Structure 1
């Protein structure tokens, strides 16, 4: 939807106008806002059932696994049940108690809101490989990356670049008018 204008002897310039640039900024902000996890941090049996059905279907394999979570705050431990859903033709995913599916245990650990940064988790490193011998491993959830900070900075840089381009365009246009 770019229109090319010829303004009083200047070279053709692609101009979107204010609405076009505003549209670009809004789309970028929406895309950045959509980054992150789908985890809601609350258990939901209905969401788990739906996700398991979406992954495994009616003829897939489903089994449960428990992991031991040690809270970083008080050192208390608790059990967390996970579901592993496998398609009939192969390929398994970890389904968290909030109903979000993850391709492996590490992705679950990195993205879930059910475990806080600093918590230690003892679980199967190969949880999505049902035929292999169990490989227990202790994981520590890392602190969340300040993605919003980086994304906000990138958006600011983008908006400043757009502003500078528009200023240059206005200067050229007023210089051609004189």
Structure 2
């Protein structure tokens, strides 16, 4: 599986902060953006970046009256932009249609071997994700990265020479680092995958 890029570029991060990074700061910023992007992706269970993926899934039986097809698979990465190809047990099929993030397959001989002993395996090559990345997601990635750049020690406040400085740490005293606050999680919940299909194999 290809390594996904950061959800925010260093250039956009610097522009948002109104700063010019030194070479050392650019390296730090890139590492923090990578970490924050990974945390966001792990929380929403989505790649987010628009990419093409080939995954194999176990077909599930469908209600022939409700869905009017022999079987279905649910594509876990969203939004589904395009489906390039579908194959069943290694054989390409064109007898399918898309319904949102579902792929409905017209028919399959479930009652004959090997399907009688093991559900068919459906391989789908599809493009998914956003281009560009939604603004609320990039804002959260930058917030998470900036927390560490501003306050790498996790100090909430300190007094130096009679001057008090307060850092961007929640009132609870929780040092989030590049982790997500509850407020950020609530914002990301609209993108979060809470139920999905078992992924068998990546190519």
Under a length normalisation based on structure 2, what TM-score does the superposition of the two structures give?
0.25
Compare the two structures and name the one with the higher helix fraction. Answer: 1
Larger Rg: 1
